[in-house]
């Protein structure tokens, strides 16, 4: 058992050294670069999207909304207000609506 553990540690050490020597690194994202999604850059403060008319790509740009929630929003349209959205869409609650609520209009 001790031999197997020692061999495993040696292998991991060698793999780590080989990876480090390869020069492969993950570049840091500059702080000035806006967050992006597949659909494009995320919305920033003051920007809004109408949940009753926006296509999926626009809903995906709302911070805190992923593809799953954006798709659920599309499928449960129309909405009268924020309370109606929370009521109709499973996965949207009082806590996470605080994150993306300011980016939505009805």
In the predicted model, is pLDDT for residue 66 greater than 70? yes
Q: What is the spatial distance between Cα 81 and Cα 36, in angstroms, rounded to a whole number? A: 27
Higher-scoring residue by pLDDT: 2, 80: 80
How many other CB atoms are found less than 10 A from the CB of residue 69? Answer: 19
pLDDT greater at residue 106 or residue 18 = 106
Q: In the predicted model, is pLDDT for residue 67 greater than 90?
A: yes
pTM for the model stands at 0.62
| Euclidean distance between the first and the last CA atom of the chain, given in angstroms as a whole number | 64
How is the chain split into domains, by residue range? 36-105
- List, for residues 24-58, the tens digit of each pLDDT value: 555 454 454 455 555 679 999 899 999 999 999 99
CATH number of 36-105: 1.10.150.320
Percent of the residues in the chain that have a pLDDT greater than 90, as a whole number: 57
Q: What is the mean pLDDT of residues 2-16?
A: 51
What value does the mean pLDDT of the chain take? 79
């Amino acid at each position: 058992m001790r031999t197997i553990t020692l061999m495993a540690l040696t292998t991991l050490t060698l793999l780590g050294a080989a990876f480090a020597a390869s020069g492969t690194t993950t570049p840091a994202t500059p702080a000035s670069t806006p967050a992006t999604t597949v659909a494009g850059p995320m919305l920033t403060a003051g920007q809004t999207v109408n949940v009753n008319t926006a296509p999926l790509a626009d809903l995906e740009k709302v911070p805190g909304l992923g593809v799953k929630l954006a798709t659920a929003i599309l499928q449960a349209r129309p909405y009268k207000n924020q309370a109606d959205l929370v009521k109709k869409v499973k996965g949207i609650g009082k806590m996470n609506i605080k994150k993306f609520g300011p980016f939505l209009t009805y």
